Amino acid sequence: GLPVPGFVPLKPGWPASDADFQPVLEDSYHFFYLSELLNNADAPYVIPPRLAVFNVVEAWIFAMLPALWKDKQRRLPLPVLLGSWLLLGINLTNAFLAPYLAITELRSNKVDPSSADDSGSASIVGKAFPRIFGAVASAVVAYALYQSAEIATSSDWSDFWDLIRTDRSYLAFCVDPVLFSIFQPILLRRVKTSNDSIDYVPFLGLVAWLFSGNKSR
């Protein structure tokens, strides 16, 4: 396999096996806590801290779509944006967002915002669309915080820290919020008419923009 620095957990290795991805697959049953909402008894049990980190990261990238969509000057064509966000963003989180922001930054001087293809998007991305995304993401994060504080036991947290030290996928999930905190104000600066200090507050700055009427440039 490829060489891995000693401080990075060795699982999954490369190429990754089905067993390496088993924890993430188990968490996927609980995407946005749908299994809990639907009382799905067939979903595998997952300790609350794992679900909290997984769902917070997924809710954050979910909430970024309206801002990515309204970035008329730099965004990729809408079908490409939506497809890449759905297939790569939801599954790869920061592994999608970092390259996407880099690629679209290079496009900024090549695209005339007045010529951006916005046909049909203005009516879709109105006030309701971002607020729905903001409400869903906020509900997921709120339940994740509740579950972490009220349901998770000390044993659950101990198991979670062990998982971070041994599983590279979960180390990446814990790095995601740090990277998203850096990317969030960059993305909001692209679409807002003015910059506010709340833009730098992780997740909350994005949600505030989603509920504010999100006026774009």
Cis peptide before 15 (omega within 30 of 0): yes
| Beta-bridge mates of residue 167 | 11
Looking up tokens 């990238």 gives 61
**Residue 1: its pLDDT value, please?**
46
Q: Structure tokens of 188?
A: 């909001």
Q: What is the distance between the alpha carbons of residues 8 and 164, in angstroms, rounded to a whole number?
A: 10
**Residue 74: its pLDDT value, please?**
86
**What is the signed CA dihedral for 136, 140, 145, 147, rounded to 10 degrees?**
140
| Greatest Cα-to-Cα distance within the chain, rounded to the nearest angstrom | 56
| Beta-bridge mates of residue 11 | 167
Contact 46, 34 (CB under 8 A): no
Cis peptide before 99 (omega within 30 of 0): no
Q: Which amino acid, residue 154? A: S
Q: How far is CA 3 from CA 12, 13, 163, in A?
A: 13, 9, 21
Q: What is the distance between the alpha carbons of residues 166 and 89, in angstroms, rounded to a whole number?
A: 24
**Residue 124: its pLDDT value, please?**
54
Q: How far is CA 195 from CA 113, 184, 192, in A?
A: 20, 12, 7
| Beta-bridge mates of residue 20 | none
Angle formed by the axes of helices 168-191 and 48-63, nearest 10°: 30
Alpha helices by DSSP H, 128-202? 128-146, 154-166, 168-191
Closest CA to 51 of 35, 39, 62: 35
**Residue 75: its pLDDT value, please?**
85
Phi, psi of 11 (to 5 degrees): -115, 140
| Stretches in the chain below the pLDDT threshold 70 | 1-20, 108-126, 193, 214-217
